[in-house]
Chain A
Amino acid sequence: MAVEVRIPTILRTYTGGAKTVDGSGGTLAEVIDSVESSNPGIKSRLLEGEDLRRFINVYVNDEDVRFLSGLDTTVTDGDVVVVLPAVAGGQTAR
C-alpha cells in the first residue's frame, strides 16, 4: 500500500533533496522501514532504539502519532505521513 511521506528540509540529505517519498506498509513502523530501504540512514534520524525520537514529530493524516498508537499506528493506502522536527530548547538541559 502506498503512502506519501513528507520529509523536512533537514532530512532531505537522505532523500536526494526530495520533499516527499513513497512508503508502504500497514503500520507506521513498516512505512519507516520501507522508506529506509530506499533512503538508507534516515531511520536512525527518526528512531532511537525501538521508539520514535523524542524531538521528532510524526503525523498520520494530521494526527500526532503520540496520540494514536505511535509506531504501531495503522496506515492505509493514500494516507499522508508528515515528519517535522520539534522546535524546542531552553536554558537548561533536560
Chain B
Amino acid sequence: MLRIGREVYDEIVAHARRDHPDEACGIVAGAAGGDEPTRFVPMTNAERSPTFFRFDATEQLKVWRELDDRDEVPVVIYHSHTATAAYPSRTDIGLAAEPDAHYVLVSTAECGNGAGPVEFRSFRIVDGIVTEEEIDIHQ
C-alpha cells in the first residue's frame, strides 16, 4: 500500500501534465525507516523524450547526497507514460534498481497537457517481479 498526501499526489500529476508529450520523472523523499513520501523532488529527464526517461546523472548525485545528509530515502520514484498505460514497461522493470521504492506511473495518454483524467498507479518492482499495490490518498 502506498500512502501519499493529496498535495504530493497533485504535484506529481501536475509535473506529468506539464512535461507531456515528454516523459516526466522524479522522486518523493521521506524519512529513512518510514514509508511516507513527503518531499517532492521533480527531476530533469536528461533524454527529453516521449518514450524514455533517465535522471540527469549529475543532478541525481546531488539529490542522492541530499537524501543521505537528511537521512531520507526515495520512497517514491515516479515517471509518466505519455502514450501508453500507467504500467511498468519491460524497460522499466529491467532497470528498476530500488527494491524498497514505490514505483509510481502516471499516464497522460488521455489528458495530454490538459486537465482531463490521468491514470495513477503504484507498483513494487523486485528482482523483475511487478506487484501492483493500493493507493491511499490522504489530506
Contacts and interface: CB of A to CB of B under 8 A. Distances in A.
B57 interface: yes
A55 B57 CA distance: 10
Given A93-B91, A94-B51, A87 B61 contact: no
Given A82-B61, A86-B57, A91-B81, A55 B51 contact: no
Give the contact-size bracket for chain B: 20 to 34
Contacts of B58: 64
Contacts of A9: 98-100
Given A85-B97, A90-B49, A62 B61 contact: yes
Interface in B8-50: 23, 25, 27, 43, 47, 49
A86 B95 contact: yes
A27 interface: no
Given A57-B57, A82-B61, A93-B90, A88 B100 contact: no
Most chain A beta carbons < 10 A, residue from B43, B47, B88, B95: B95
Interface residues of A, number: 21
A40 B122 CA distance: 35
Contacts of B64: 84
B95 A89 contact: yes
B52 A88 contact: yes
B94 to A, nearest CB: 8
Interface of A: 8-10, 55, 57, 59, 62, 64, 66, 82, 84-94
Q: Which 6 A-B pairs have the closest CB atoms?
A: A90-B52, A85-B97, A89-B92, A88-B54, A87-B55, A91-B81
Interface of B: 23, 25, 27, 43, 47, 49, 51-55, 57-58, 60-61, 64, 77, 79, 81-84, 88-92, 95-100
Given A91-B52, A91-B82, 14 more contacts: A9-B100, A57-B57, A57-B61, A64-B61, A86-B95, A87-B25, A87-B60, A87-B77, A88-B53, A89-B95, A90-B89, A91-B83, A93-B89, A94-B51
